[in-house]
A and B are shown apart, each in its own frame.
Chain A
Amino acid sequence: DADVTQTPRNRITKTGKRIMLECSQTKGHDRMYWYRQDPGLGLQLIYYSFDVKDINKGEISDGYSVSRQAQAKFSLSLESAIPNQTALYFCATSRGTWTDNEQFFGPGTRLTVL
């Protein structure tokens, strides 16, 4: 079984709709992240969480919100989706120490906003 799972894997929605992307992990990691990937670009950090009570904005948080329901679950919401939020979204996890800091990614969610 995959250590980091994302649901749904693909989603097509319309402008103005509320969308939630979910991420679950069985790695036991404290840190979780949401990124988006646009064609021809690297990944950009949307939000990150060090634990259930510690949530922080990344470099492109506008238009997004998150919820850390448990150590293993981190959800990303688009309150009112717009077409330029069409992208590939990744959830990632890492251990709590910087010296052991590689991030492990989920399979991605491909979101299309019409």
Chain B
Amino acid sequence: AQKVTQAQTEISVVEKEDVTLDCVYETRDTTYYLFWYKQPPSGELVFLIRRNSFDEQNEISGRYSWNFQKSTSSFNFTITASQVVDSAVYFCALSGEHSGSARQLTFGSGTQLTVLP
């Protein structure tokens, strides 16, 4: 079985602050993929990033960065200089090579980020 835990239910920051969203996962698979999705107030789910288990390089995309650490089973997401438009629910998800024939995504419960002006 696989599991994704996002312990931070809600985070509130003031604009321009940096914020890190935590994601801890459990899987017995050696090959797996990790994902982050954003769900803004309008409700759609927007794909942000995919990372495979063999690539522990951190990734930066503009104000977004991701820190993957297999040793702690974590895949944390940092927003630098947050903006009001970053306010959304952020989901971390996991797909393991043996997670059923669908290689289905297991989602965390999400973190509601509110960025105040």
Contacts and interface: CB of A to CB of B under 8 A. Distances in A.
Interface of A: 31, 33, 40-45, 48, 56, 58-59, 88, 90, 92, 98, 101-108, 110
Contacts of A92: 45
Given A40-B109, A42-B107, A107 B44 contact: yes
A34 to B, nearest CB: 12
B102 A48 contact: yes
A99 to B, nearest CB: 8
A98 B43 contact: no
A44 B106 CA distance: 8
A37 to B, nearest CB: 8
Contacts of B47: 102-105
Interface residues of B, number: 26
Interface in B83-107: 91, 93, 95, 97, 101-107
Contact of A56 (B45, B102, B108): B102
The 10 closest A-B pairs by CB, nearest first: A42-B107, A105-B45, A107-B44, A43-B107, A48-B102, A108-B43, A102-B50, A98-B103, A42-B109, A102-B47
